[in-house]
Structure 1
Amino acid sequence: MKIAVLITRSLLGLIFFGFGLAYFLHLLPTTVPPGPAGEFDKGLFASGYFFGFLKATETLCGLFLLINKYTAFFLLIIFPVTLNIFLFHAFLEPSGLVMAGPMLLINLFLGYAYRKYYTGVFTTSPTV
């Protein structure tokens, strides 16, 4: 189990760190896909802040997954990003499901592997 966690954590960290950094270094083309996916992307780009914030989050989370510090926290932060990537490709751009599906499965697996760190979050009646 430890080796599987190490491999999947490193893989997810590399994906997010690599794609986040590639955005800032302008290493990937910024082509807009046709149809609803393109309209969605154009709206997010038009906000002026969203993609920078998203890619900074991806880069930071990927880095911390790679160095294995605060891993449970950064898995919790990156899960909504992974879920949105999956849903975007499931509903708007199905060609990306080849990568988005395994990313979601890896994130779910790591969430399960680090589940003991989330028990306090799911307390029914917390006291101060």
Structure 2
Amino acid sequence: MKIAVIIVRVLMGLLFLFSSVSYFFNLIPVPPLEGNMKTFSEGLAASGYLMTLIKGTELICSLALISGFFVPLALVVLFPIIVNIFFVHLLLAPDGMPVAIFVLAGALFLAYAKRDHYKPLLTAK
């Protein structure tokens, strides 16, 4: 299981690293969007800061995942982003579902593998 954790952690880290670096350096052209996905994307862009905040967070957390430092914290920070990625692809852009499923399943797998780190957070005092 230890090797599986390392593989999933590094793959997720590389995916988020590629995604954030691609955003900041415009490495991949954005495909034309339609319908509700276009409206959603325009709303994120109209905020003027939200996509930069999301991609900056992904960049920092991807480095944590790749390096193996602060992995439980990186997963906690990334989880709301991952849930949104999953639901955006589920409801607005189904063509991206395979990647969204991998990211969500990977995050849940890593959280399960690091469950001892989360016990203090889930203890009522």
TM-score, reference length from structure 2:
0.97
> Secondary structure, in 3 states, of the residue corresponding to 2:121?
coil
Q: Which runs of 5+ in 2 are unaligned?
A: none
Distance across 1 between alignment mates of 2:98 and 2:2: 26
TM-score, reference length from structure 1:
0.95
Mapping of 1:4-83 within 5 angstroms?
4-83=4-83
**CA RMSD in angstroms, aligned pairs only:** 0.8
Aligned length: 125
Q: Deviations over 1:13-46 (max 9, x none)?
A: 0000111111111102134410001100100100
Q: Which runs of 5+ in 1 are unaligned?
A: none
Residues 32 and 41 of structure 1 are in contact (CA less than 8 Å); yes or no, is this contact kept in structure 2? Answer: no
Moved over 3 A (4+): none
Distance across 1 between alignment mates of 2:98 and 2:29: 19
> Secondary structure, in 3 states, of the residue corresponding to 2:69?
coil
**What is the percentage of aligned positions where both structures have the same residue?**
39
Q: Deviations over 1:87-117 (max 9, x none)?
A: 0000111111011111110010000000000
Distance across 1 between alignment mates of 2:99 and 2:33: 17
Distance across 1 between alignment mates of 2:49 and 2:99: 25
